[in-house]
Amino acid sequence: MGWYGERVLPRLINIACGAHSSDPTRSRVCARLAGEVVEVGFGSGLNIAFYPATVTRVAAVEPAELGWQLAAGRVGEAAVPITWAGRDAQRLPFPDNSYDAALSTWTLCTIPDADAALRELRRVLRPGGALHFVEHGLAPDESVRRWQRRLEPLQGKLFGGCHLTRQIDKLITAAGFTIEELDVYYEKGAPKAGLAMSLGVARPLPFPDAVAG
């Protein structure tokens, strides 16, 4: 990740994403989580306060050790056991069909190979499991998309490879999910180019060999 990504960026994200204005969104995306959950892009644990009582265990996937260190207080006060289980969402260290739910909040924008990460989540989710997500990405309006394309190179340099123009619904369905719920909207109080949101729930389709068997 480099010095900036390992030592500076986690602190910036902790401050920027820790604003209480994001609390309603975190509450929405976490509301129906249940059972054993894998959370990718765990960061400093800002979602912990919004885990419902139906969550029994969380495996945190976070590339930056500093992110996990910043989460220590929240993890210690959590009502459920949370373990730092891996760094790379593109190569999850879990067996097939091992989790009831997956959680991704503002994470797919920065993963270098988002398709690989989504296919890994599909692999580790149990039949009937669900991916709960909120991501920023390609705006629904072309006028905003033009600004996103102009700003994306700078965005990537400042925020660890963050993309503004990934089309979240297409990424998820291309990786083998079916989207059951999707709300596309602009977050209030900020430039549309950075806060074109997709919030929803997706279910993993079975892999071909599972169908054949």
Q: Which residue has the tokens 């990718």?
A: 40
For residue 195, what are the domain limits? 2-212
In this model, does residue 212 exceed pLDDT 70? no
Question: Alpha carbon of 143 to those of 49, 52, 139, 140, 211: distances in Å?
Answer: 36, 38, 9, 9, 43
pLDDT digits (tens, 9 = 90+) for 93-150: 999 999 999 999 999 999 999 999 999 999 999 999 999 999 999 999 999 999 999 9
pLDDT digits (tens, 9 = 90+) for 46-61: 999 999 999 999 999 9
208 CB-contact burial (10 Å; exposed 0-12 / middle 13-18 / buried 19+): exposed
| CB distance 26 to 50 below 8 Å | yes
Q: What is the CATH number of the domain that holds 81?
A: 3.40.50.150
Question: Alpha carbon of 91 to those of 62, 116, 121: distances in Å?
Answer: 12, 8, 9
Q: Quick one: what percent of the chain has pLDDT higher than 70? A: 88
Per the prediction, the chain carries an average pLDDT of 91
Task: State the total domains in the chain.
Answer: 1
